[in-house]
Structure 1
Amino acid sequence: MPKNVMTEGEWAKARRDAPKVKSATGLKATAYQGHYWAYQFMLDVGRDKLATSRQLNSNHQDNFNMASFQHLPHEIVQLIGSYLSPTSLRNFSLVNSLCCAVSDQGIFQHIHLVLSKRKKLVEELHRWDQILHQSPRRASRHVRRLTISCTCYPRGWTDFESWAETKYWSCGFFCDCVPDNGVLHDFFYYPTGSTALTAAKLDQAGQAELEDEDERWRWQEKWNWSPLTEFIARLPALHELVYFRRNVPPPGLLDVLDDRHPRCRLHILFPPFEVLPGNRGRINRYHRQLFTSPNLHHVAVDVSETSHEAHAVPDIPPRSLYWLGISDNNVTAACFEALARYILFSSLRCLVLTGDIRDDGIAWLVSKAGIFTSLEALTCDLTTRDDDRYSFEVRQRRDQAGVAVLAAFRPLKRLMLNDLYGRAVYDAALRYHAPTLQQLFLHSAHDKILLHASVKMIDNICLTCPNLRKLRLSIRRSQGDRHEVEHYRALARIPKLELLHLYLDPINYSRDPDSPETYDLTRAPAVDDAYIRQSLVNYAVDASLAASIFRIIAKNPFTGGYSAFKGITVYVRTGRAREISSGNPAYASYFSFLHYLTHKSWKCTRGEGYDEVVVKEIDVVYLPRMSEEVEGIGGDPAGLFRKERIYHPQSDVEDLEGYRPGGYHPTFIGDTLCDDRYKIIHKLGYGGYSTIWLARDQQRQRYVSLKILVAAASQDDNNNESKILRLLSKGGLEHPGRRFIPTLLDQFSFNGPNGHHQCLVGEPAGCSIASSKENSTNLMFPRDAARSIAAQLVMGIDYLHTNDICHGDLHLGNFLLRVPEFDNLSPDELYERHGKPYEVPTHRLDGRPSTPHAPLHVVYPMKQNMPSNEITDPEILISDYGTSFAVSKTTSPRLHTPALYSPPEDFFNDRIIGTAADVWTLGVVLYDAMGERPLFETFAWDPDDIIGEMVNTLGYEQMPERWWNSWKCRSEFFNEDGSWVSNFRRIGTPAFRRLHQRMRDMGRGETPEGCQWDVAGGELKALEDMLRSMMTFEPAQRPTTRQLMASEYIVKWALPAWQEQMQRKH
């Protein structure tokens, strides 16, 4: 057993010594391959207070440092960064090292604050401030989601998790109910289970007087919440705030959201809705502000019949919501009637029904189902709290309720059924919703009858659900016989399936006294654990269905309960799985972490007294990619990335599947090219159709960049980029924008194992403006540097347009910063400054040795830290001309600009594409480069959302009538007069933010007194006028770049800043 592993006996003793500490992990490790110490650290953090800081120090002081995390796979670091809380360890330097390393990869997207004491509130926020705002890369830039799980209550309050776990565990399913086109889908996650979701109840004996809501509110109003609200205000790009408290959010929070995060979505899982219609009809100011806030998006309601009296409904106008959860032990028609008075059911996209909904409540839902006109997702967790919960009468009543609800609602896209007992419920789900279903989650088959119904249902799913993309089956008390396993194989026939989560629970009835079934224990069927486990692995691999097998894990048996607990999660056709579903977030992170640490085998134990379960040779299996296009030149015409996967994927490097005939050239550090003239020193970057290397020109003793194109793009010796660069090199040297265009120093070709490759030789450059901003502490360049950048970009694009070239792919990633010359550095000195090349071996999925088509190891790009806040004299280089075109010689040009930067004519298929498209994009780029945040912000790069942002920013009056009338989804955003629709159902908040308002949001001060711009001289107004003219909807009405060079802003502020920079240089 490896050193420092806590044995079962030690674990049991620790639990006895600290009985009040909740365990965050049930996984006991014995041996793991890969970064064992990192995984052990995760376990120790999971044990939280069971491990003292001294123990953690001794365990990890030799291994735990920033360098150790520097080259860990992105997924591992993301998991650590997502679930780590600084107060889990008393040794802050240890945590700070980790968090700095995590922030280097820019993946602090989700922070979960668990606050238990007033003192710890300030301490926790202070530490996060240090990590997020003082790290080298300013990790706060990447925070998108903040979860607050507070237990800050006066004495007499206690926290408990059973109520939350039983009622709201199903919320986790609706992480998948975010629209599939949302970027949010990649990391949207509800922490559920006992270790993350906490609520509070009143200790009646200790604080009975706090039952009065006014008293409870007065206590909260006295609390000093300013550290929390100030912390939230400092996060620059928060998209979601999840507040896990039974009380309302702290005073001032809504003001912060309105001011700093107007598009942030507020999720309240335990709001005091019982006080809205109750409490003798009184409602205070903050309750009203909360419920009428445009940020409010998700609400979970704990209703009861007594709290919703008709005469006590407050005077609050009904509002729209995206998500509503309803739960209680006694949900009646009166509860729904009260909710309908202040929630527009017609706006709901997701509805969660949990708890014991009474017959009259079911009848109300069935009779009023027609008002749920926008509903797409439904959870039915109609469990009962009756004493005889397994009786035939109770089951029959639950089944009838489930069938009635499923039959009443319109066809749904996402459906979750939990703890529904009879086959009729599942038949109803398929009968009424199968044609439209995209996600289906069926949980907990409780008896043998339903097991056979489930097997039959699998066949029906295959035949009746043509659009199903995600399927989760949880079948308890599975027999595990061969006949059952054969039916699971049929799931491979579902044509569009992307994710399969199959969770089986084989049970030995002779050891399960809690089982409701009555069997003759002497004749109880023996569960073939080994067979079902091996069969499922074979099914996933042999059928070529699995994208990855995440876990086959044995869990400690419940007290007096299950003797076997098996589960398998299979992700299909997704390329790379994001996370694992689990009721406990600790399990989720550990299982995912385990997957990325091990490639071949791992073992775990089922607990003391049980034999080890050893699973060998579990490997990652990938499907052939579907017809997805690769970002780059014209998609993937050579089909390099659509063939069957061969290699284990690596993060932050080129797609290894491109190493095949027609693809990338396998390049190694030390290789020489062009008759030994160019020697490879380091790697600069990669793209969909090339890899870029830093090389030493051994003839002229200088460093150059080598852009090696894939063989499929090198068949024409006059490839597009080289043609454009040669044409631009012939332009007038007197033009001031000529200096911002890269020089093509050389061009040659060579043969390699994957074909004939073109290589373009140019001058090396540093990181992009986008990377520089992300690495900074404030996401901005200094004021004069921003002015200089504006002048350089306008002059550079004007040089292109003067020479009849439209760039066609302008964004911050294609504007590079020149680096100080380092030709006088030797390779060793360069490595000392920027780090040696980091190489990771490549592995084939089938275990065979690599072929000459692929390198034995892949090289990570060189890190060039150039934080924007530290750059005073920026020099820009406009790069990437692979999609550029000559305007006068191209009949049907195609733009490759990212969606958020694309001009409107590209969305409306207007074929008049020319230099005016570059002008629009340049306006969006200038706002982003000169400020803190991008101009257009959407939760998804959906074309309609982006068009909506354009109209929101510039006004509908400016849009040409031909586009306004042809916009098919306009009615989802705006009325005919350009005002927001009242039943807005898209993700986000329908609030007007015109361009002049967004100018104040650039991050350089919102008041004239504190603004960095020359407000008195009219700089901000001049900049706004220039940007507004550049982003005129009608392309013909936009100014040319020559006119922009003569604009007031460029002449009075931008050009002088650039000229002063040149004087300092010379």
Structure 2
Amino acid sequence: MTLPTLPLELRQQIAACVDTIHRPSLYAFALTSKACHAASTFLIYQQVNITVHDREGLRRDIFRLLEALSRTDSTRHVQRIMIKGALQLDARKSKGDDRKPLWICDGLEEILENEETIHYSDRDVFRGQAVIEKFSEEDMAWSPVVSLLQAIPRLKDLIYDCPSQFPPSLLKTLHEQHPRCRLHHLTFRFRTLLWDAPCPYEIELATSPSLYKVKVACGWQDSHGDYDLNLEAMMQLATGLAPNLKEVIVLGLSPFLALQYFPSRGLWQGLPGYTSRPVGSLTSLSLKGFSSLRSPELLQKWARYTDFSCLQHLTLGGCYDVKTSGLTGETMEWVSQNMSFSKLRTLDVYLNRDDMYQQRPHYSQNAVFFFQTFQYLKELSVTGPIDSSIVHAIVSYHGQTLKKLSLNPFEQTFDHRGNGRIQRVIPMEFTKDHLLHIQAGCPALEELSITVWRNKSSASETELYKCFAKMESLKVLFLTLDCSNWHAPHDNIYDPESYAEDPARGILKETYINRAVDEALARSMWEVISKNKTGKRLERLKLWTTASIEYGVAEGTFWAIDVLNNLSRSWLITRVPRDDQDDITVRELGQREREARDARLRRKRPTETRNVFHEVWPRKEGSESWHDDWSSFPLQM
């Protein structure tokens, strides 16, 4: 029996397997025959992505999409629609500041795919922002999307990620045409809470039975000193005022110029219709970027509005660029003594010693008790001060059920001589014993994200990579290759005399070697892990080469930083999804951004640090730039 003659149900099951293993292959499968195409359309059109730019472009794109859906009889297959971009009523008008944030310019958007960023230096003003009106020009500009929603018979999810306010025409269509569709509003924000009475449409949207997930960015007050009441409003919505709201993400802002205002904060009367309700039943709560997590107060407030024992997912603490806003020992102690998380399965936390002004001797003990508060976690991510006792508690209490684990050691550095406090704690270094402990205690672990300290490709470093091969269930591995030399500026017992030359030159040489991660080294890391792998095959390896400016060299710093940024390359290695082959694909992450940065910085400056570079990698005959002279140091076996 040939593939085209198989029953449609079997062909659809085959297409679903192809989609699960390797999404790009689904499109190739669909093109092989009419029978395969018929079996694949329900997966190809299951989610429709729309990127909005201007009114005419939106009309044209929706017309083409409807035409394709009609031609393939696929409107019945569409279950999710994602809308991104920003609608411009006039394509000829300026689209504002097109500068890319540093996050994107550094290529981190591609490396840290699911990370949130909060730009603390941004100006934020919400008083005076226009509210979209029903049947206005802006509302009517969304009419092509209304037509799309009307053509789809069974829409399950609408994901809205545009800065403009959600249009009334779309809300009306959801209520009338798709009453069971879940609205994921990822740019939600009240604009009229400071009015005598909030705008009726904002209340209609906030209390809509369609509203399922909300992401809101808010602070204590904005750049003009006006109070931002969105956090209090979200707490009230979570009690059931928004009847089907289950997932809330709050990004805590600290807007530019906000701290120059010190007005007294009056008592807010609350949202219209809000009374003292029983606590709500959110299933997911994310509080990111909040420095107020240093005390239990924020969690105490939320506990009055939602039942934490109903949560299945919880995120507490900072984002990539706000790592100082995590849970302190005081907050963790309060949580362990007062909270219950009987249904929680996914936990993502950022921690903070909070010891800049005074010592916190019980931090580790509080962290241990904190992680013992939870049961049967399947996914856990921890960023911040971690030590062996904390890792032991995590593995002991959650290792048997963990399928996904992320451990990212991070320590604040400071030299606060005013009160005699000098920070000397350096981030935890995972040893072979630590990795073997994780391997033995987490038998079901499928995904692991962890930091490995580079050690000049030495045999001891190679042994660390071999430890991952013994994790039988492991399929996805994300290694942060940390090349910092924390000992030089922080450790009292660090002995610079161990270098047989000038200490600063020796440290810089070592840093050059560690930061040099090219494709050859990335492939060899994969090979060491993959060829020794027991149990399931390794399917994916991501390498993020990074370091703070922690290499103990001040002389010639700018040129050295340019070189280190060029050497520090990140890689994604993926196994080709075929059982009869061991082929892999290797791709540099952030390559476009790195090359653009190199083009700006490609200049020659005769500095002392350049001479150090060529002591590590002598000039090659015929090379026109140092870019052509370097290569990674191979792993020692």
Normalising by structure 1, we get a TM-score of 0.36
Superposed, which structure 2 residues align to 1:786-865 within 5 Å? Answer: none
Give the Å deviation of 1:377: 0.5
Give the Å deviation of 1:198: 11
Match of 1:253 in 2: 170
- AA paired with 2:270? V
Pairing 1:609–2:585 present: no
2:395 counterpart SS class: helix
- AA paired with 1:438? K
Of 329, 342, 359, the residue aligned with 1:373 is 342
- AA paired with 1:212? G
- AA paired with 1:298? K
Of 47, 50, 57, the residue aligned with 1:110 is 47
Give the Å deviation of 1:437: 1.9
Q: Which runs of 5+ in 2 are unaligned?
A: 1-17, 28-36, 222-228, 233-266, 319-324, 413-424, 497-502, 548-560, 593-624, 633-637
Asked if 1 retains the 8 angstrom alpha-carbon contact of 2:183 and 2:212, the reply is yes
Match of 2:308 in 1: 345
Superposed, which structure 2 residues align to 1:340-739 within 5 Å? Answer: 340=303, 342-355=305-318, 356-357=325-326, 365-370=335-340, 372-382=341-351, 403=368, 405-443=370-408, 450=427, 452-453=429-430, 455-475=432-452, 477=454, 480-495=457-472, 497-505=473-481, 507=483, 520-524=503-507, 525=510, 526-527=513-514, 533-544=523-534, 547=537, 550=540, 559=562, 561-562=564-565, 563-567=567-571, 609-610=627-628
Give the Å deviation of 1:610: 4.1
Asked if 2 retains the 8 angstrom alpha-carbon contact of 1:269 and 1:299, the reply is yes
Q: How much identity, in percent, do the aligned residues show? A: 20
- AA paired with 1:437? L
Pairing 1:129–2:66 present: yes
Pairing 1:149–2:153 present: no
Q: Indicate how the Cα distance of structure 1 residues 345 and 111 shifts in structure 2: closer, same or farther if over 3 A, else same.
A: same
- AA paired with 1:540? S
- AA paired with 1:412? L
Give the Å deviation of 1:575: 6.6
Give the Å deviation of 1:537: 0.8
Q: Indicate how the Cα distance of structure 1 residues 575 and 319 shifts in structure 2: closer, same or farther if over 3 A, else same.
A: farther
Give the Å deviation of 1:163: 9.4
Superposed, which structure 2 residues align to 1:18-57 within 5 Å? Answer: none
Q: Indicate how the Cα distance of structure 1 residues 329 and 463 shifts in structure 2: closer, same or farther if over 3 A, else same.
A: same
- C-alpha separation in 2, matches of 1:409 and 1:138: 48
- AA paired with 1:300? K
Of 109, 127, 138, the residue aligned with 1:211 is 127
- C-alpha separation in 2, matches of 1:158 and 1:171: 22
Pairing 1:326–2:287 present: yes
Match of 2:554 in 1: none
Q: Indicate how the Cα distance of structure 1 residues 380 and 401 shifts in structure 2: closer, same or farther if over 3 A, else same.
A: farther
- C-alpha separation in 2, matches of 1:257 and 1:346: 31
- C-alpha separation in 2, matches of 1:570 and 1:400: 40
2:291 counterpart SS class: strand
- C-alpha separation in 1, matches of 2:591 and 2:197: 42
Give the Å deviation of 1:326: 1.4
Q: Which runs of 5+ in 1 are unaligned?
A: 1-72, 83-99, 174-190, 588-606, 615-1066
1:320 counterpart SS class: coil
Match of 2:499 in 1: none
- C-alpha separation in 1, matches of 2:573 and 2:409: 16
1:112 counterpart SS class: strand
1:440 counterpart SS class: strand
Q: Indicate how the Cα distance of structure 1 residues 409 and 245 shifts in structure 2: closer, same or farther if over 3 A, else same.
A: farther
- C-alpha separation in 1, matches of 2:63 and 2:119: 24
Of 266, 270, 293, the residue aligned with 1:313 is 270
Asked if 2 retains the 8 angstrom alpha-carbon contact of 1:366 and 1:404, the reply is yes
Asked if 2 retains the 8 angstrom alpha-carbon contact of 1:202 and 1:211, the reply is no
- C-alpha separation in 2, matches of 1:259 and 1:581: 48
Superposed, which structure 2 residues align to 1:144-183 within 5 Å? Answer: 144-152=79-87, 158=97, 162=101
Match of 1:849 in 2: none
- C-alpha separation in 1, matches of 2:58 and 2:462: 51
Q: Indicate how the Cα distance of structure 1 residues 110 and 217 shifts in structure 2: closer, same or farther if over 3 A, else same.
A: same
Give the Å deviation of 1:192: 4.8
Give the Å deviation of 1:540: 0.7
- AA paired with 2:48? I
The CA deviation string for residues 38-61 of structure 1, in whole angstroms up to 9 with x for no partner, is xxxxxxxxxxxxxxxxxxxxxxxx
Asked if 2 retains the 8 angstrom alpha-carbon contact of 1:413 and 1:439, the reply is yes
The CA deviation string for residues 440-480 of structure 1, in whole angstroms up to 9 with x for no partner, is 12236679964533543312212222333332334365654
Give the Å deviation of 1:374: 1.9
Q: Indicate how the Cα distance of structure 1 residues 410 and 554 shifts in structure 2: closer, same or farther if over 3 A, else same.
A: closer
1:151 counterpart SS class: strand
Asked if 2 retains the 8 angstrom alpha-carbon contact of 1:242 and 1:267, the reply is yes
1:331 counterpart SS class: helix
The CA deviation string for residues 369-421 of structure 1, in whole angstroms up to 9 with x for no partner, is 21x3321101113479x9xx9x7979999878755642433442211123445
- AA paired with 1:313? G
- C-alpha separation in 2, matches of 1:234 and 1:157: 34
Match of 2:214 in 1: 299
The CA deviation string for residues 713-767 of structure 1, in whole angstroms up to 9 with x for no partner, is xxxxxxxxxxxxxxxxxxxxxxxxxxxxxxxxxxxxxxxxxxxxxxxxxxxxxxx
- C-alpha separation in 2, matches of 1:153 and 1:395: 52
2:430 counterpart SS class: helix
Q: What RMSD in Å do the two structures reach over aligned CA positions? A: 5.6
Give the Å deviation of 1:251: 1.6
Aligned residues: 468
Of 231, 239, 262, the residue aligned with 2:156 is 239
- C-alpha separation in 2, matches of 1:522 and 1:201: 36
Q: Indicate how the Cα distance of structure 1 residues 110 and 474 shifts in structure 2: closer, same or farther if over 3 A, else same.
A: farther
Asked if 1 retains the 8 angstrom alpha-carbon contact of 2:470 and 2:533, the reply is no
- C-alpha separation in 2, matches of 1:574 and 1:263: 39
Asked if 2 retains the 8 angstrom alpha-carbon contact of 1:327 and 1:353, the reply is yes
Q: Indicate how the Cα distance of structure 1 residues 244 and 544 shifts in structure 2: closer, same or farther if over 3 A, else same.
A: same
The CA deviation string for residues 501-532 of structure 1, in whole angstroms up to 9 with x for no partner, is 1424263869xx9x989974433344496677
Asked if 2 retains the 8 angstrom alpha-carbon contact of 1:546 and 1:570, the reply is no
Larger Rg: 1
- C-alpha separation in 2, matches of 1:535 and 1:351: 34
Q: Indicate how the Cα distance of structure 1 residues 125 and 221 shifts in structure 2: closer, same or farther if over 3 A, else same.
A: same
Asked if 2 retains the 8 angstrom alpha-carbon contact of 1:378 and 1:412, the reply is yes
The CA deviation string for residues 1016-1062 of structure 1, in whole angstroms up to 9 with x for no partner, is xxxxxxxxxxxxxxxxxxxxxxxxxxxxxxxxxxxxxxxxxxxxxxx
Normalising by structure 2, we get a TM-score of 0.57
- C-alpha separation in 2, matches of 1:506 and 1:452: 10
- C-alpha separation in 2, matches of 1:352 and 1:581: 32
- C-alpha separation in 2, matches of 1:375 and 1:212: 40
Q: Indicate how the Cα distance of structure 1 residues 415 and 491 shifts in structure 2: closer, same or farther if over 3 A, else same.
A: same
Asked if 1 retains the 8 angstrom alpha-carbon contact of 2:522 and 2:571, the reply is no
Asked if 1 retains the 8 angstrom alpha-carbon contact of 2:184 and 2:213, the reply is yes
